[in-house]
Structure 1
Amino acid sequence: IMPVNHDPASDELAAHPSRLPTHPKEVVEEKKAAPQEIFSPPVLHPLDPLTANEINLATKILKKSPYFQKYLRIITVILLEPSDKNVVLNIQPDDEIPRQVTMFIRDPVKHTTLEIIIDLTKETIKNTLELTDVQPSLTFDEMIVADTVLRNDKNFLAAIAKRNLEINNIVFYPFAAGYRDLSDEPSKRRIFRPLVAVSHGKEDNYYAHPVEVMDLDDMIVEVEDYYVVPVPTHTANFNPENITSSNNVPYFPNGLRNDLKPLVITQPEGPSFKVDGYQVTWQKWRFRIGFNVRESLVLHCIEYFDKDKWRSIIYRAAMCEMYVPYGDASPTHSFKNVFDVGEAGLGLLVNSLVLGCDCLGEIHYFDVIVNNNQGQPLLLKNAICMHEEDGGLLWKHTEFVEGRTQVRRSRRLVISTVATVGNYEYAMYWYLNQDGSLNYEVKLTGIIAPGAIGSGKTPVSGGLVAPGTYGPYHQHFFNVRIDWMLDGLKNSLVEVNCEPLPPGKDNLIGNAWTAKETILSTVGQARRTIESKTSRFWKIVNSAVLNQVEQPVAYKLAPMGNVFPLCLENSHQYKRGAFTRYHLWGTVYDPNEMYAAGLYPNQKCEDTGLSKYSEANKDKSLIDSDLVTWYTFGCTHVIRPEDWPVMPVETTGFRLLPHGFFDGNPALDVPLPPNHSRKKNCEECNSNGKS
């Protein structure tokens, strides 16, 4: 689809705040509007991210329809990927490229949610659905309007006066409502529960000064005032100028370190990857970059070049949900169980990444387009970063008898994005490696959402971080949905457990063990947890393609550090976050099953996602199926003083490794890096003498 010519006066990129104001006295500069044509490259593939032209076109079609009202809030505009994979896999250069979007819209007058599917190719509305019992994700526009309403609410003003606080020093930071009782049902009202803190200036970390409900359709305020706790007075700033203050926790009287020498990374000939639109090739890998306002970064059509042909591995991979349940029973924290993908939208919250800080080296950035509540396109610069980095040792062996050494260093391709979801930052990384493996990693940082506590008291479900301040215990769960295409679209799922052999002729001295394979033959069987005692992992196999030892080709999903949910089974947290009950789920591809917590987790009392998908199809065969795996992983955050005022990075993730997919080590052909040593000729890496 070539860019459509629209009226530039009305179709420019929307001017919008780069972020929410964090202090009532602060004026946030708006990003300047720019002609949308600059950010609407030709659409070359059905899976390309949406362009500014396409969002403008979708909004124009909506405005011409009988469904449009001026007061509607356009929550998200998301590319509706072709449900038939063959349409994507068999697309030819001269073919018309099918492009459809789903617009998720809130009607605050009728208290309903609209799903409107628009065919951009034919410029028609394809389908419309009006729902009364769901709530779409929260939006910036609602937060900004709510801030104004809250500052003028008499009950809230009375509550802060009781604490001797000034309204001009108050900051609201939003939290999704969670679910507490029937009054929170999505059919009854649209709400969020902002928390309150005190800010002493633009550079002050207001999370250090917490003060111990709002209807977003009608902008009606309910003030929940539980008890008066002294507002913590110690600062918790982390900018260089303020860490020298003796009132700061922690306190660095000498300021920044001065003994750090420069570390410079250069690639004088440029990076080894090639970018064609949104298609990337690097070191025998080929894949497509995708992006949407809900999931953020998506990888499509991941392939590896082997034996003179491209071999498919994955059709689509993305983090489809993130769940953060809090473990503190106090009323200002017990409601917190946030679905950051389904209730907020990671794509809308991505950072503009900065060279030398977020990414290091020879960088290729991808800009992306999202939408505001008026259906205008918004440009997010440098939303996705791609670069190469040294990965340490790739392989090595020294023959002491013959005096020979062979060693290679690893290089990996990093595709990353960072989202700020309220107080937390989540940095998400895909690593592609030269040995045919992939890693997915989440780095958690940012600021804990603290609470105030009386002097001399110790929290039951939290950790003290400063006088009068504690961090509630909580967990983070992530779910990555992988739609497999391992040498084709017919794959199976196998569980592997390492077990000792029973005593007998096959295990005379008790040392023998085996790797026992079990086919997970149905969707109902494919609900599995990790088990470190048996070194459990899972294989995705293609039984129709055999390797050189006559075994089905496979990839291995290898868990890394992981956790189990700690909430009780009768809790709303357990019911809402049902996808966390198992670490691995297997289903058969269904284009309507994209999100682990369902399409609308906001204010829902129970799961409408993965547990429902699995139960409804529990008898469906997974053998030689169009297989989708859903892997849940995460971490348990027991707060420590070192997490304050900004957390050092904590890491979680998993690995995907070839397991009989290749005939042997696919990285044997990686050459020695040129000019990698200060020596004129480095013989240690490839020597005929001992190293």
Structure 2
Amino acid sequence: MTIIDAASADRDAHTAHPLDPTTASEISDVREILSDTGLLTEQTRWAALLPEEPAKTEVQAHEPGDGVDRRFRVMLLELDTGASRDVVVSVTHRRVDVVRELDPATAGQPPIIDEEFDMIEGVILESDEWCSALRRRGVDPATVRAAPLSAGVYGYPEEVGRRVVRVLGFRQDHPADSPWAHPIDGVVAYVDLTARTVNKVIDVREFPVPTEPGNFDDPAQVGSNRTTLRPIEITQPEGPSFTVEGNRLRWEKWDLRIGFNEREGLTLHQISLDGRSFAYRASIAEMLVPYADPSPVRSWINYFDQGEYNFARYANSLELGCDCLGEIHYMDAVIADDFGAPRTIRNAICMHEEDYGVLWKHTDLFTGAAETRRQRRMVISYLTTIGNYDYGYYWYLYLDGTFECEVKATGIPFTSAYPEEGTEFATEVAPGLGAPYHQHLFSARLDMTLDGTRNAVDELETERLPVGPDNPRGNAFRRARTRLSTESAAQRMADNNHGRTWRILNPEVHNRYGNPVGYVLHPEGHPVMQADESSVVAQRAGFATRHLWVTRYDPAQRYSAGDLINQHPGGAGLPEWTAADRNVDGEDIVLWHTFGPTHYPRPEDWPVMPVDTAGFTMKPDGFFDRNPALDVPPSSNGHCASGQAGGDGHGD
């Protein structure tokens, strides 16, 4: 296992391409420009810094040597007043292009920042009501770790226009003790972040605090490590099959650029296959974690981990042999901290190849031919930790043209007390300790350019035919196709019972059979958001009520729930955009796909959960004229026979 190149994200000041990653020097330049313009004070904090990518047409027209206008979008927050601004800065021209004062009552709030998280425990310790509630439960307030959570919008007049969070407490018995094992249930504090005061404490029931430790790293609790596992070494003696130049990755017939920002995390750009355009941009544009517990202290819990927390700023520095195996190429990522200083996340992005079993195989009865080819995939990934959960985001490229996204969720379930009488909204994972039911709903944004920018979408599903003159034995079934021609018609649900998929096609480019070239999106078909349609969370996360949306391309329409989701009253994002009901048949289109698990925690998920996975797959369907992996050579490691029936070629 070796590191090929731990490349720094801070490159030469010269920018070769509009989609080059953000550099530390660019962030410093943004801060200098804002300071010179008088937009920064001692109370100003940076709630977000995101690359303001040029329009698609500008990027597609770019030629080496062309000038590039490097622009960045900054959300500025004034700690003392709560005022906020949305600012766009051109580093190239050293100017401020846009300053927009935000009305938090209608536009929402910037994401919650680290400094606000850090000051919460000091604020709640000043509240007599909060401390009294803890002491009645036999808990010393000084032992309580605060979990400040996004507040949502629930019609409280005193919160309109105010920057607030809601706080639950967890007892920590010693510095190495996991507080998640000891939730202090039945009480919650509402905190004003600007005034730094507790506005309200809701105290409805005194539950016993669970006492059993949940320290997954304590040998006294988990026992001795197994001694039966032998080492597995992943080696590529001749090196990997991919190359990375700057942020451009080439692997086999795939060619793309890699980006990273603190809101979306890993982004893929200008993806092509065998010299043909596949997609202009692919990302996870939002994620939502709604909880099912209707109790007074928990019914408001739902996190937009991207829009409310900019969770990719907490990306892990990946370690060889732990997070990634094999011949690894790492890329650093550069983000801005609360004060606008550049911060480099070392080894934030991991790239490597993986063997993936049999690609294709046949032993022919008549010719005696016996051939096996191994599948391989290119992995591009990063992991981030937000509170109790850890998420790994993996984009896979395959030798046969398959394109796949997988999210791996692990970490610690968010916990509650488990009452003696039981509850229908949580699982008991330790004595008196509950893990509430919840969902993880991800929104993939797929800006398609399949052999060009004029694309369309057909819905495909299996149609069973009744017995009749043309189907006398009742065995017939066929594939039904429906063109999704408008944005309203393209709001769709998955239906696994009918094998429903969606085929992205280019009506202007045909294969040798005279059919439009295409790729099929195969959804997993897990449930969309289960909260009632009239609920606050359903109004704020309309994207999560459908598995598929298709919109006309608009560079300003980037995030599924809108630009500012923190304390936004709802209706933004996909529901608002698709109200125009634009034509999407043979146009420049964007697909938005909702996926993710509904998590009913198990005792096996405690005290740290094994990885749970969710994702989607896109497969070529008429994009090629035949199997595009026929030219993959047989394995050369001496373990796979070729060319004769009865050989000892093995696969899995």
Q: TM range, normalised to the smaller chain?
A: over 0.9
Aligned positions of 1:92-491 closer than 5 A: 92-133=63-104, 134-183=108-157, 187-212=160-185, 213-222=190-199, 223-244=201-222, 252=223, 255-305=224-274, 310-454=275-419, 456-491=420-455
Q: Report what 2:600 is aligned to.
A: 638
CA contact (8 A) 1:368 1:380 kept: yes
Partner deviation per Cα, 1:380-421 (whole Å, 9 max, x = no partner) = 111111110011110111113333211101110001111111
Q: Report what 1:570 is aligned to.
A: 534
Amino acid corresponding to residue 82 of structure 2 in structure 1: H
Residue from 496, 510, 521 that aligns with 2:460? 496
Offset, 1:41: 6.2
Partner deviation per Cα, 1:639-680 (whole Å, 9 max, x = no partner) = 221111111111111101111001111011001121152xxx
Amino acid corresponding to residue 397 of structure 1 in structure 2: H
Residue from 600, 605, 621 that aligns with 2:564? 600
How far, CA to CA, are the matches of 1:379 and 1:152 in structure 2? 35
Range with bigger deviation, 46-55 or 173-182: 173-182
Residue 569 and residue 689 in structure 1: after superposition, are their counterparts in 2 closer, same or farther (change >3 A)?
closer
How far, CA to CA, are the matches of 2:389 and 2:595 in structure 1? 18
- Describe the SS at the equivalent of 1:342: coil
CA contact (8 A) 1:453 1:470 kept: yes
Which structure would you say has the larger RCO, counting Cα contacts within 8 Å and 6 or more residues apart? 2
CA contact (8 A) 2:279 2:447 kept: yes
Partner deviation per Cα, 1:357-384 (whole Å, 9 max, x = no partner) = 1111111111001111111111111111
Q: Report what 1:80 is aligned to.
A: 52
Amino acid corresponding to residue 260 of structure 2 in structure 1: F
Partner deviation per Cα, 1:543-563 (whole Å, 9 max, x = no partner) = 111101111001110112411
Residue from 504, 508, 525 that aligns with 1:540? 504
Residue 502 and residue 688 in structure 1: after superposition, are their counterparts in 2 closer, same or farther (change >3 A)?
closer
Offset, 1:179: 2.8
How far, CA to CA, are the matches of 1:610 and 1:38 in structure 2? 35
CA contact (8 A) 2:495 2:525 kept: no
Q: Report what 1:661 is aligned to.
A: 623
Q: Report what 2:3 is aligned to.
A: none
Amino acid corresponding to residue 158 of structure 1 in structure 2: S
Residue 503 and residue 54 in structure 1: after superposition, are their counterparts in 2 closer, same or farther (change >3 A)?
same
- Describe the SS at the equivalent of 1:161: helix
Gaps of at least 5 residues in structure 2 are: 1-7
How far, CA to CA, are the matches of 2:499 and 2:645 in structure 1? 39
Q: Report what 2:31 is aligned to.
A: 59
Range with bigger deviation, 364-373 or 146-155: 146-155
How far, CA to CA, are the matches of 1:528 and 1:675 in structure 2? 47
Q: Report what 1:585 is aligned to.
A: 549
The number of equivalent residue pairs is: 633
Residue 676 and residue 287 in structure 1: after superposition, are their counterparts in 2 closer, same or farther (change >3 A)?
farther
CA contact (8 A) 1:78 1:292 kept: yes
Q: Report what 2:520 is aligned to.
A: 556
- Describe the SS at the equivalent of 2:257: strand
Offset, 1:164: 2.5
Range with bigger deviation, 234-243 or 635-644: 234-243
1:89 partnered with 2:89: no
Q: Report what 1:22 is aligned to.
A: none
- Describe the SS at the equivalent of 1:233: coil
CA contact (8 A) 1:111 1:132 kept: no
Partner deviation per Cα, 1:241-290 (whole Å, 9 max, x = no partner) = 2325xxxxxxx4xx221111111111112111100000000011000001
How far, CA to CA, are the matches of 2:12 and 2:605 in structure 1? 42
CA contact (8 A) 2:408 2:612 kept: yes
Amino acid corresponding to residue 365 of structure 2 in structure 1: F
Offset, 1:502: 4.4
CA contact (8 A) 1:404 1:690 kept: no
CA contact (8 A) 1:184 1:603 kept: no
CA contact (8 A) 1:292 1:370 kept: yes
Offset, 1:690: 5.7
Residue from 34, 37, 47 that aligns with 2:19? 47
CA contact (8 A) 1:403 1:690 kept: no
Q: Report what 1:647 is aligned to.
A: 609
How far, CA to CA, are the matches of 1:386 and 1:482 in structure 2? 21
Partner deviation per Cα, 1:517-551 (whole Å, 9 max, x = no partner) = 11111111110001112211111111111101111
Residue from 499, 507, 511 that aligns with 2:475? 511
Range with bigger deviation, 594-603 or 400-409: 400-409
- Describe the SS at the equivalent of 1:425: strand
Offset, 1:37: 10
Partner deviation per Cα, 1:78-129 (whole Å, 9 max, x = no partner) = 100012x221112122111121111111134443321111111100111111
Gaps of at least 5 residues in structure 1 are: 1-35, 245-251
How far, CA to CA, are the matches of 1:184 and 1:460 in structure 2? 33
Identity of aligned residues (%): 40
TM-score, with length taken from structure 1: 0.89
CA contact (8 A) 2:9 2:332 kept: no
Aligned positions of 1:13-32 closer than 5 A: none
How far, CA to CA, are the matches of 1:188 and 1:468 in structure 2? 39
How far, CA to CA, are the matches of 1:416 and 1:667 in structure 2? 24
Offset, 1:505: 4.1
Residue 199 and residue 110 in structure 1: after superposition, are their counterparts in 2 closer, same or farther (change >3 A)?
closer
CA contact (8 A) 1:541 1:552 kept: yes
Offset, 1:184: 7.1
CA contact (8 A) 1:322 1:478 kept: yes
How far, CA to CA, are the matches of 2:646 and 2:288 in structure 1? 55
How far, CA to CA, are the matches of 2:118 and 2:112 in structure 1? 11
TM-score, with length taken from structure 2: 0.94
Partner deviation per Cα, 1:183-241 (whole Å, 9 max, x = no partner) = 475x4210111221111223211100011121112211233333221111101111152
